[in-house]
Structures are given as C-alpha cells and as structure tokens.
Amino acid sequence: MKSFLRGKVVIVGQGYVGLPLALELAKADWQVVGFDISKSIVSQLNSGSSHIEDVSNLELSKFLENGQYKASSSLNEFEDAEVCVICVPTPLNEQGDPNLSMFDSAIRMVATNLYSEALLINESTSYPGTVRDYIKPLVKSLRVDRANSMLFASAPERIDPRNANWQLKNTTRIVSGLDQKSTEKALRFYETICDDVVEVSSPEVAEMAKLLENTFRQVNIALVNQLVPLCRNIDINIHEVIEAAGTKPYGFMKFFPGAGVGGHCIPVDPLYLLWRARLVGLDLPFVAQADLVNSNMATYVASRLIELAKPEKGDYLVLLGVGYKKGISDTRETPAIKVGQVILQRGFTPLWFDPLVPNFEHFDRWDGQSIRGAAVITAQPGLPLKEMISQKIPILDCTGEFRFKNGVETL
C-alpha cells in the first residue's frame, strides 16, 4: 500500500461541506481532487472562482496554482486515491423521508473506481447504520473483490457557514470506523486538519450524534417559537425574556424565535431521526412536535404580516432576506418559501429581496414595486429598511435584530 499520510484524497461533492474540506486538506499538504458531477462547477472552480462564501477566490487560486487542489468530473481520479470522502446532499423527499438518490449515485461511482485498500469516509448527514448497513453492502454488491479490503468510516460534517468563531479546523471532529484499522486511519487523516479529533465506539454513534446535535436545536427553537404568541398576547418581549434567562451561568442556552428553520441541518436531520425510529416501530413525539411547531411558524408570520400591513387582495408583500442564514446566499429549506406560499394562498402577492441571493425561483423579485408591507425573514446586510421605514411601510421583523428601530414590529 502507498504511504497513507499526505497522499491523494478525493472529495466527492464541492458544495458548502466539500469545498472547505478540500482546501483545508490542501493547506495540510494533501494532494486533493474536488470531484463534482457538475461540469459547470468544476470549470468555475478550476478558473479560480468560488461559489461558496466561506472560500475566497484568493485562497482557491493559491491552491490551484501550487497544484495542491484541482476540481474534476473524471472517474479516473478515484483509481489512485488513498482516501475518498463523501460530501453530497442528503435532502428529504416530498413525503419528508430521506432522499438518498445523490448519495447512492456517489457510492456507486466510488465503489467501482476506488482502489481496493482505500479509506472511504462518509461525512454526509444520514441515519444510524448508513456506513455498516448501506455503504459497505452496496460496495460489496458492486465489487465483492474490494469490499473486504477497503476501509470504511463515519465522520459527520459540522460545517456552520459564515461562523466567525468556529470553522472546520477548530471544531471537534467525531470519528469511527467499521474496524480498528479503519478507525485508526480515519483518526490520522482528520488529525492533519482538525485541532481535536474524538474517537467514538462505532459509526452508528457518530451518525446518531449528528442527528442529535441538530434535533436538539430544532426542539429548543420550537420551544421558543411556541412561546411567541403567548408573549405577544400578554405584552412581554420574547427577546428580552431570552436575554434575561441567558444571564443564568448554567443550565440554559439561548435560542431565538424566527419564521421557521432553514438550511440542510435543522429542518432535515430530525426527520432522518423520525424516519429511522419508524423503521423499528417507535414514535418520537417531542421531535415530531418540534418539526410541526417550526413548520407552522410560516402561517403565524404570514398572518402577523397581513394583520400589520392590512393589504387588499393582490397587493404586494415583500420577504426581506431569503438566504436561510445571515450572511450567506444558500436558500435551502429557507422559511421564506413557506411564508410566501401562505401569503399567496391568502390572496396576496409575495415578492422577495436579498442582496446576497442572485436567484430565488419561488417568487418574483422586488424591484421597486409599490408594496403594502414587508417581513424580515433573514437579517441580511444591505436590506432597505431605512428606505422602507421612511416611506412608513409596515415591517415585521422575524429576527429580532431590528427590534429597537422605530416603525418595526417584532415577533
């Protein structure tokens, strides 16, 4: 077998998880190939243009120029890779169940092209048992000659885009392989790029921990969102309540209300957990209720905006900030979609505006049309609040960041 440390690694998927991982590995002197089936993404990356906010063009170009990184759609890149990491989307289908079509395609490509003693790591969010019961059997069904000599591990991603304090390097990584050899090599691999790597007893523990992390957030956000109507009814500011409770130095973490939850993690991971529980005949009522509460916030927000703006049928209402999180252009699972759909169902016309989002296919973009009201879904930089306030346009702030501005009402 070739020397393991600082060999060739292929990262499958060059999105919000895969591209930052690829460049962190390049920084650690690995020979990195960022594999993506999208030829347009590959071409864009190889030209030195990043489509991910956390990766600058300058940083990308540096590793392209020194040869530590390249993007590719060629299956030949797997043949001499010592490590392959899966970083592809694992969304939900229309029924709210796992959609593993992209994940399945990625494993099939890897299985038929990766060499026999390589280490295959899954970072994509999935359910407990994915590595043991899904990945290895699939590899074996396609290449029985390689399945027994390949190494398999789980190391769930913990990427939080645009987080100024916690990045890939200083966020603890949990790792486990199907056997001790897989675990040891996965540990050595992540120790080259992470300050702290923790071994757990099985891939199932690592996979379950990822789901628990985001289910924890879903449940606590739902608790706060459930209190919003009550606090408004009895004339208490929910944000002041949260800040007050947050002065306790132990036993409490601050979660804030909003129009719902967005991104790939919080709206998705808990439903993977619910799906896995149903397979063994169990219900998780707290998790299911949290998902329902956060989903229903769209109706509450739309109702509050309509009550505030008093529009007539067909009038325009603007959704300000449709990226799922402040500071990014990613609109996956953004609550703005559901809020807009409710507005549309009520007979009004939703528009959107977000300085960071170039395209949002769900509704028309606000381009100066006369509007009756606006809701801040995500507190993006560059929102035209000052202009709207001066025009006395009713504004509902779902984020709490503008609650001290005159002319703005908060949840």
Instruction: Using alpha carbons, select from 402, 32, 386, 49 the residue that is nearest to residue 239.
Output: 402
> Is 77:9 a contact under the CB 8 Å cutoff?
no
pLDDT at position 3 = 45
CATH of domain 226-410: 3.40.50.720
Q: Give residue 90's Cα distance to chain centre.
A: 10
Question: How far, in Å, CA of 375 to CA of 391, rounded?
Answer: 15
Write out pLDDT tens, residues 43-82.
999 999 999 999 999 999 999 999 999 999 999 999 999 9
316 pLDDT more than 70:
yes
pLDDT band at 144; cut points 50, 70, 90: confident
Q: What is the pLDDT of residues 290-315, one digit of tens each?
A: 999 999 999 999 999 999 999 999 99
The domain limits of the chain are 8-201, 226-410
Give the tokens for residue 157: 């991603």
- Catalytic position from the list 194, 231, 265, 398: 265
Q: Is the pLDDT of residue 217 over 80?
A: yes
265 included as an active-site residue: yes
Model pTM score: 0.92
Q: What pLDDT, in 10s, does the model give residues 161-203?
A: 889 899 999 999 999 999 999 999 999 999 999 999 999 999 9
- Comparing 8-201 with 226-410, is the CATH topology the same? yes
Q: Is the pLDDT of residue 4 over 90?
A: no
How does the average pLDDT of the chain come out, rounded?
95
Q: What is the CATH number of domain 8-201?
A: 3.40.50.720
What does the pLDDT average to over 100-104? 96
Average pLDDT value for residue range 260-286: 95
Residue 116: pLDDT band (50, 70, 90) is confident
- Residue 177 dihedral angles phi and psi, to the nearest 5°: -110, 175
What mean pLDDT comes out for the span 228-237? Answer: 96
Residues 6+ apart with CB under 8 A from 325: 161, 162, 262, 263, 378
User: For the chain, how far is it from start to end, CA to CA, in angstroms?
Assistant: 60
Q: Give me the mean pLDDT over the 92-108 stretch.
A: 94
Q: How confident is the model at residue 5 (pLDDT cuts 50, 70, 90)?
A: low
Quick one: the chain helix, strand, coil %, rounded to 5?
40, 15, 45
Strand 151-154 versus strand 173-177 pairing type: antiparallel
In DSSP notation, 94-153 reads: TTSSB--HHHHHHHHHHHHHS-TT-EEEE-S---TTIIIIIIHHHHHHH-HHHHTTSEEE
pLDDT at 1: 38
Contact yes or no for 407/392 (Cβ under 8 A): yes
